[in-house]
Structure 1
Amino acid sequence: MYSTDASNYRHVPIAVVTPRSNADVLATLEVCAQRGLPVLPRGAGTSIGGQAANTAVIIDFTRHLDRVLDLDPEHATARVQPGLVLDRLRAAAAPHGLTFGPDPSTHNRCTLGGMIGNNACGSHSVAWGKTADNVRSLEIALADGTVLEVGPTPVDELERLCARGDRTGTLYRGLAALVERDADRIRAAFPSLPRRVSGYNLDALLPENGWNLARALVGSEGTCATVLSATVGLVASPAARSMAVLGFPDNVSAAEAVPALLGLPVLTVEGIDGKLVAALRARRGAAAVDADLPPGGAWLYLETGADTVEQAQELARRVAAVAPDVGATATVVGDPSHRRALWRIREEGAGLATRLADGSEAWSGWEDAAVPPDRLGGYLRDFEKLMEDHGRRGAVYGHFGDGCLHVRIDFPFTATDARHRYRRFLEEAADLVVEHGGSLSGEHGDGQARAELLPKMFPPHIISAFGEFKSAFDPEGRMNPHRVVDPAPLDADLRPVVAPPVLPTRAQLALHADGGDFAAATRRCVGVGKCLAPSGGVMCPSYRATREEKHSTRGRARLLFEMLAGDVITDGWRSTEVKDALDLCLGCKGCKTDCPVGVDMAAYKAEFLSKHYRNRRRPMSHYGMGALPRWLRFGALAPRVVNAVTSSRLAPLLKRIGGVAAERDIPKLAERTFRSWWTRRGGARPGGDPVVLWPDTFTNYFDPGPGRDAVAVLEELGYEVHLPSRSVCCGLTWYSTGQLGTAREKLSRTLDVLEPWLERGVPVVGLEPSCTAMLRADAAELLPDDPRVPALAACTRTFAELVGDHAALRGRRPGGGRVLTQVHCHQHADLGFDADRAVLGSVAGEVDVLEGGCCGLAGNFGFERDHYEVSVACGEHELLPAVRAASADTAIHADGFSCRTQIRQLTDRDPVHLATLTARELGVSGT
């Protein structure tokens, strides 16, 4: 799981250590020193140059050494541990009107230690600079365990330190001699541009720069020392913000406009390529992407900040007014939600750009070169010509105001001559950026991707000085070796080249996004690590519960990649390591939407389980809960008897036999199923347009109330409601447990029943989000060649989608009270929630929507043995505390049966379905 970062490179580590204290770090360094082992201190592992992957002992600070040690608002500083996530520092500083200036797009999972290692910058660097500009001092440990505090060094202090007879004195004497000898060469060799990140910051040691050893170490990529803590500067955060968005015909036009914009009162000058917007549009539709973008093929985001909203808006209007002068169109975006949607395009660029709109793979490698901003237009024009000459494509975006461009390129890493073509492109790209007076890296560092090219940017004596600088700290060369100094070849260790799949990779599922190739699916994860975010969105609930890499979407994808490669994981589809990592995947599908590259771990898990258990005995839960619809058909014959038994002294035995967690109550069967109620009332009643109401397993056998209420609402609105003539099942429980053959059979029989309705285009209305998503999306993965599946997807509607546009609900003033609503994970991932918001707005006076994670039950997951604690922890992330805090007169709304069951079992509240809320508001009843 740690064999790569967000780069193209792969290095299997020797070991991974997760220290709980600085003493643990020093003990690790001591053991490594005794055994001569290399060491790599690592943050979130989102580095793109390959500096966070090495054949070394990795020290992962993210799990435990992640605190703000001290925050001093008066002096605007904070003391932090290296594993602290940036957003947690910003949250701690916010009450004081402060923030940490550098803000990479990975701000909700990148760590301060990682930012220091890479000299991270972010979108607001035109206002607040790089990490090096915001570090005050560092507490570091050398490879031999020597601990010292470094920072600005006055002349008298430098003399005192050089006079010491210990390891610290040796370090300072060596560095002082280097600077004294090469000061003029350093002044001459370092390009004067805002985003020079390549190489070591030797210029920070010049007398005129305060002989600042802390800033010299920023960006050293763990090659010199291990950061134990850091004191960083904070900046005043504007109380209000707005944004002007300028639209240009193309990227070059946007780049050429930058010099004229730099004098404006803005916090950002960020460039967005139309290819990124196209990629996002292809994945999520146009409505959420284009609403606030002016016409154009490329855009610049110019954010403004002030003390009040009015002042920020006025600044944004002043900025937008210059658009005609630079050949642009413009719009001002003041609404915070709209700004967040636009920033999402920019922040997810590293992921979106790895899958172009046509689905082809693109890679990092030449990721973040920077040139003087006034030369950006010419450089970009030449760079696009370089890509054309090499037959390559890529989406360009980035920090245009600082002359720094990001790009993912469709390098042919599966071709036989992949290494040669990759090397030739990078060498020519390096020549080009140097020709334009730039830096090979403008943000992500050199790593393995660019360190070999540093002699193109720096003269030989500076390259030698880099070696002396590292040697002063690390004379044995054990700190993250072969990065910056004595670099590894840039075309060695390429992950797709050195670890090709040795197992057959044709999937049983269609995996349309990857052409049915499971290997391509595992390559989809590029390590940007959004699944490591502690909050926001749905992905990844099990990681948030355990904080273990193997329970993140990224960790699971990496294990699947290694499984196919057969090098470290040698037992293929039978691997217990992979099975154990996937065991806590809830199948929530949050990653399908939240992951910038659309990793669909729920589908990958189903594929894995199908192969892992082929011709083998499965867990009892697969036979029990995995075949739940089958058993419920028998149970419904005598529901009172079943309920009596499952609540009797036999319940523990039944749970043990069925693989059910002992802590769980088995839900009671309804005394009358939804279908039997339907039959007793006489079936369909003549009305207007026909609709088919889907009698899912959970509504039919456990909770018929929403079904009855849905019938009442639909008939009140003039629809003629029908149920399928025979028993139907979408196959979800078999699908989620990897019993794909049975799932196909169930779905195919269901299509036989629905076919007459589908031929007429009659809507099929789902009440249970997971089953509805199965019909609309996952059916195509199971039966890609069945011509009825596209018709099924086209006809499938959610309850909200069908009733939301009806005149009786649209725009009405609700009389209902307050509602707290839980968005089902599959609504978030596959179905969308906009229609539900509209209906809720029509039936409730005030709606509070929870969108911060899964309920934790997730179908059979939360009922399975050994999953209870994680299931509860997922629910406690946001849902359960919010439910307990809701007032007694607040209705709790959840459309998923799992969500309602989790709430019922872990709180004293009884949640309701949207159909029930709507029925109450319309004054109808499904009794």
Structure 2
Amino acid sequence: MDSDFHAVRCESLVRYLRRHVAGEVRFDDTSRRLYSTDASHYQVQPLGVVVPRTVDDLAVTVQIAAELGVPITARGAGTSLSGQAIGPGVVLDCSKYLNCVGEVDAVGRRVTVQPGVVLDQLNRAVAPFGLVFGPDVATASRATLGGMIGNNSAGSRSVVNGRTVDHVRSLTAVLSDGTVGTFGPLSAHEYERKLELRTREGDAYRATAAVVRDHAAEIAARTPRIQRKVSGYNLLSQCDAPPSLVPLLVGSEGTLAVTAGAELNLLPRPKHRGLLVPQFATLAAALDTLAACLELGPSAVELMDRMLIELAAKQRGLKDTMAAVRGRPEALFMVEFSGDDAAEVAHRVHELARRLKGVPGLTAAVPALDPATRDPLWNLRSAALPLLFGTVGDRKPVTFVEDCAVAPERLPEFTARFRDVLHRHGTDGCFYGHASVGCLHIRPVLNLHDPADVRTMRAIMADVVALTLEFGGSLSGEHGDGMVRSEWNRAMFGPVVYEAFRRVKRGFDPGNVLNPGKVVDGPAMDEGFRHPPGRPLPELPTVFDYEAQGGFFRSVELCNGVGVCRKTQGGAMCPSYRVTRDERDTTRGRANAVRHAMEGDTLASGRREPAVPGATQRPAHAGRSPLSQRWVAPVMDLCLSCKACKSECPSNVDVAKLKAEFLHAYYARRVRPLGHRLVKRVHQLSPLAARFAGVGNWLARQRWVRGALENLAGIDRRRSLPELHREHFRAWFARRPSSSVRRHSAGPNRVVLLDDCFTTFQEPDIGRAAVGLLERAGFAVELAGVCCGRAMISKGFLGDARRLAQQGVAKLDRYAAAGVPVLGLEPSCLLTLVDEWPELVPGAAAKRVAAAAHLAEAWLAPRLRDSGVSLAAEPGKVLFHGHCHQKALVGTAGTAAALKLVPHQDVTVLDAGCCGMAGAFGYEREHYDVSVAVANLALLPALNADPGATVVATGTSCRHQVRDLTGRRAWHPLEVLAAAADG
């Protein structure tokens, strides 16, 4: 009967929502799965998701849900570390549509925002006025203002900028009955009028006033007297007369109202910043210098310990930044000074360095005043959390006591005592965070798959609560209560204040529909984990090797949900999300889908069966891979396999590889589309088609042929087809006259050129340019004569790709073992040898080949310079767009250095993300529009802004996209160098 009632209620909810909400109403199983997690270790399946377009949508959703007794959870960006952003009812995602920044009042330093506005977006909007929003959380690239308000976020510079609550002038909020109210400062008369209202708003004012009247003394006694405190409800703010409910709503985690808009205060943006990075032999030595650091009035003092430093050192994208770290310090500070006078900022940096000189335990003190050095160092701190969750293995730094705050002067003693607690329980942790305000993020190392470690987790929490109370601190200084700390608020605040919290909650939300179980009446902190402790980890046969990650499932678990993939500016991750703004098109969404598929479908009952110790988990779909489930396909569909996540995700989640495994499993028992089969055989079809290039190229331009290809193979008729050449590169190489360099090919100056099928048959001039330059520099060129299998991998033909890789490794290892470099012209092909071959054919041979593989122009640049080859060109501007695989795996610096060998050329390396073509992706009918939209995000605007510049692109896909969408030719870097050499 209960299940029948539940089904009827759910059907009514969906029907009413779809009738009255203009936004998206998603009660499909895929959406429920993808919105069941945030950045915490918890998982709660919602009934459904609403993506509102308007404030009216917000209000009506809350009203309908309240009438049916269905919980509401406002999600923000889903980056909550404590489980605030997940719930069992309807999840609200305002980030897609409710993301407008209102008019900026530069004189009054204020702005209005919708709840889905991202912090970086807001700061870009107000930057032309010399303004900034004060709180600067590490998740600024994806944190929404609605989420920051719900959490009372602060960030690294809170010692001078304060918390979110200090910058909210007024709030527009949806109350628990669906009515919309505006909250802000009130006069005494206005406050009295609010108390007289016979509405939900009036109930809220009266309940708050009553608890303050009854328990003001106890509230004052139990509230920590420190800056960073967000545990519980901020009832101390209501002891003012007349009070404003804004400080109560900010930080209430969506349990009292749903933010629909806000008017915010802005601050003048400091014109200059400078860093000093003192490094220490011990953590204690670092904390002992905190008082000295604070004396000079820094804008931030951020701590990183050895665990985090070492993880950063292993991160591909942080290699250059880590050069500022000398030796192997146990801890370091990032002490930032800011102001409008550059000389004064520099003086404070150097003065602190002078004062710290000779301090016991100091091993180095590195100043960073130049933005090129300073900004990457500062951003290193922002990467901390994902780096920690990227730790390989089951034992990881866990978030549950990571948010304690005490007075800064007591931080050294508190930290030492905290570490003693961890040691007593047989573990240690990672220590980092906001030392300037006494708020360290301390994460004990535990295995949450192990029931014994989960029991240790609870024991540590009990001891830390007692320790925090002893030091007059707050259990949460920034990340809030959520599912992990709400249980402990009674112990933190005592029974009187805790009951006052409950009375306030009832006044605002008598039906307990707004994010229930957060702040008050929370569940046990050790319930609701993503993967139940004691349950065996699911595994399945794979083609790629995942030994380095501890297995396939653990490679998927590297995605912790912090949502770096939701950024919309800078870098290349994640191209399709930047177009659709849809959760399923994030790296996080795809990794989540694979994890859900492997763990089995739990949507029917909403719960998991209990774990049986020692049992082997039975696959959810006996006889076939769990990855082959149909619902996973739409989630993986718009992944461009750009590999940006492999470097830009601090946890190094490689979704391109996950997609290849998925396609391999999905089509194991399904018929492949014709387009897939053509892509698979591109290395065989290209030489055959080149024999008839004249006829083939003519046919490719005919409208009826394009229509037939679209209908039969799914190749969009709007996309031009590549031109083939009968006199292709291999034919030219075989027939050309022998040179003196080639006759001495047995000498030491030998190179092997990877003659990939794209440049060989479609752009042979690039190969000719490469050979000419290499021979001018004194190198004998041989062709590799192997196929990398890139096209096969992109479509999941992994068995065939592995066979090609085995053949290629056997052939190229002879060169690699002899020290002969393997050079490539097309990044996607050359880097397949570097990235995929060692995981398709594990072993020393593949690793040798990978180590010998280089992009031709980057490898050639220093040798070309040393050989004395003369380069000449007319003055001009070059816009260089790097291939996504190149940016992710080796970077663009080598190619840029090669281009800069040409005199009088102003080379600009574009930070324009992905071109959107991505090999076969941009040809496909179902992907063409997304492909064009990705190009229009940044690349095409950058090219259109400089129509006279020479466009250079390393990737054949990139050059094709530029030609198709702008009509301009994009050159390969080697063509530019060859032209300069001939000039």
Corresponding residue for 1:749? 807
Corresponding residue for 2:28? none
The equivalences for 1:335-484 within 5 A come to 335-356=370-391, 361-484=396-519
Moved more, 688-697 or 828-837: 828-837
The equivalences for 1:487-498 within 5 A come to 487-497=522-532
* Structure-1 separation of matches of 2:858 and 2:390: 30
8 Å Cα contact 2:218/2:497 also seen in 1: yes
8 Å Cα contact 1:747/1:779 also seen in 2: yes
CA distances 1:383-442 after superposition (whole Å, capped 9, x unpaired): 223223333343221101011112344321222434323222222222222222211111
CA distances 1:118-160 after superposition (whole Å, capped 9, x unpaired): 1101011011111111111111111102221112333332222
The equivalences for 1:689-700 within 5 A come to 689-700=749-760
* Structure-1 separation of matches of 2:534 and 2:979: 59
* Structure-2 separation of matches of 1:672 and 1:216: 75
SS at 1:495 equivalent: coil
Match of 1:112 among 121, 125, 145: 145
Q: How much does 1:263 deviate?
A: 2.6
Corresponding residue for 2:925? 865
Structure 2 residue identity aligned to 1:317: H
1:632 and 2:686 equivalent?
yes
Corresponding residue for 1:678? 733
Q: How much does 1:617 deviate?
A: 0.8
Q: How much does 1:217 deviate?
A: 1.2
Corresponding residue for 1:543? 577
Corresponding residue for 1:618? 672
Q: How much does 1:573 deviate?
A: 2.1
* Structure-2 separation of matches of 1:330 and 1:419: 40
Q: How much does 1:355 deviate?
A: 2.9
Corresponding residue for 2:723? 668
SS at 1:384 equivalent: helix
* Structure-2 separation of matches of 1:274 and 1:843: 43
Q: Give the gaps of 5 or more residues in structure 1.
A: none
Structure 2 residue identity aligned to 1:269: V
Deviant stretches of 4+, over 6 Å: 810-814
Corresponding residue for 1:771? 829
Task: Classify 1:388/1:682 alpha carbon distance in 2 versus 1 (closer, same or farther; 3 Å).
Answer: farther
Match of 2:300 among 256, 268, 272: 268
8 Å Cα contact 1:68/1:89 also seen in 2: yes
CA distances 1:744-795 after superposition (whole Å, capped 9, x unpaired): 111112223323212212000011111111011111111114x310110111
Structure 2 residue identity aligned to 1:425: I
Structure 2 residue identity aligned to 1:660: I
* Structure-2 separation of matches of 1:878 and 1:749: 40
1:849 and 2:849 equivalent?
no
Q: How much does 1:283 deviate?
A: 2.5
1:877 and 2:942 equivalent?
no
* Structure-2 separation of matches of 1:167 and 1:656: 59
Q: How much does 1:881 deviate?
A: 1.7
Structure 2 residue identity aligned to 1:364: T
8 Å Cα contact 1:80/1:229 also seen in 2: yes
* Structure-2 separation of matches of 1:537 and 1:455: 45
Corresponding residue for 1:247? 279
Corresponding residue for 1:532? 566
CA distances 1:583-623 after superposition (whole Å, capped 9, x unpaired): 11000000000001111000000111111111321122210
Structure 1 residue identity aligned to 2:848: A
Match of 2:337 among 292, 301, 304: 304
Corresponding residue for 1:799? 856
8 Å Cα contact 2:277/2:367 also seen in 1: yes
Moved more, 407-416 or 822-831: 407-416
8 Å Cα contact 1:500/1:565 also seen in 2: no
8 Å Cα contact 2:204/2:504 also seen in 1: no
Corresponding residue for 1:318? 351
Q: How much does 1:628 deviate?
A: 1.3
Moved more, 915-924 or 552-561: 915-924
Moved more, 602-611 or 148-157: 148-157
Q: How much does 1:506 deviate?
A: 4.2
Corresponding residue for 1:178? 211
Task: Classify 1:93/1:715 alpha carbon distance in 2 versus 1 (closer, same or farther; 3 Å).
Answer: same
Structure 2 residue identity aligned to 1:732: R
Task: Classify 1:370/1:662 alpha carbon distance in 2 versus 1 (closer, same or farther; 3 Å).
Answer: same
* Structure-1 separation of matches of 2:872 and 2:422: 57
Structure 2 residue identity aligned to 1:222: G
1:723 and 2:783 equivalent?
yes
Moved more, 302-311 or 346-355: 302-311
Corresponding residue for 2:195? 162
8 Å Cα contact 2:872/2:981 also seen in 1: no
8 Å Cα contact 1:40/1:58 also seen in 2: yes
Q: How much does 1:214 deviate?
A: 0.3
Corresponding residue for 1:194? 227
8 Å Cα contact 1:46/1:529 also seen in 2: yes
Corresponding residue for 1:523? 557
Q: How much does 1:340 deviate?
A: 1.8
Task: Classify 1:218/1:285 alpha carbon distance in 2 versus 1 (closer, same or farther; 3 Å).
Answer: closer
* Structure-2 separation of matches of 1:908 and 1:751: 39
SS at 1:410 equivalent: strand
Tell me the matched-pair count. Answer: 918
Q: How much does 1:95 deviate?
A: 1.6
8 Å Cα contact 1:809/1:839 also seen in 2: no
Structure 1 residue identity aligned to 2:695: V
Corresponding residue for 2:959? 900
8 Å Cα contact 1:270/1:302 also seen in 2: yes
* Structure-2 separation of matches of 1:134 and 1:774: 50
Query: Under a length normalisation based on structure 2, what TM-score does the superposition of the two structures give?
Result: 0.90
Query: Under a length normalisation based on structure 1, what TM-score does the superposition of the two structures give?
Result: 0.96
* Structure-2 separation of matches of 1:685 and 1:203: 86
Q: How much does 1:498 deviate?
A: 7.0
SS at 2:170 equivalent: strand
Q: How much does 1:459 deviate?
A: 1.5
Match of 1:732 among 768, 787, 790: 790
Corresponding residue for 2:5? none
CA distances 1:515-551 after superposition (whole Å, capped 9, x unpaired): 2x22112211111111101111110001001111000
Task: Classify 1:357/1:522 alpha carbon distance in 2 versus 1 (closer, same or farther; 3 Å).
Answer: closer
Task: Classify 1:841/1:265 alpha carbon distance in 2 versus 1 (closer, same or farther; 3 Å).
Answer: farther
* Structure-2 separation of matches of 1:752 and 1:170: 77
Corresponding residue for 2:774? 714
8 Å Cα contact 1:359/1:513 also seen in 2: no
* Structure-2 separation of matches of 1:755 and 1:88: 49
Task: Classify 1:341/1:513 alpha carbon distance in 2 versus 1 (closer, same or farther; 3 Å).
Answer: farther
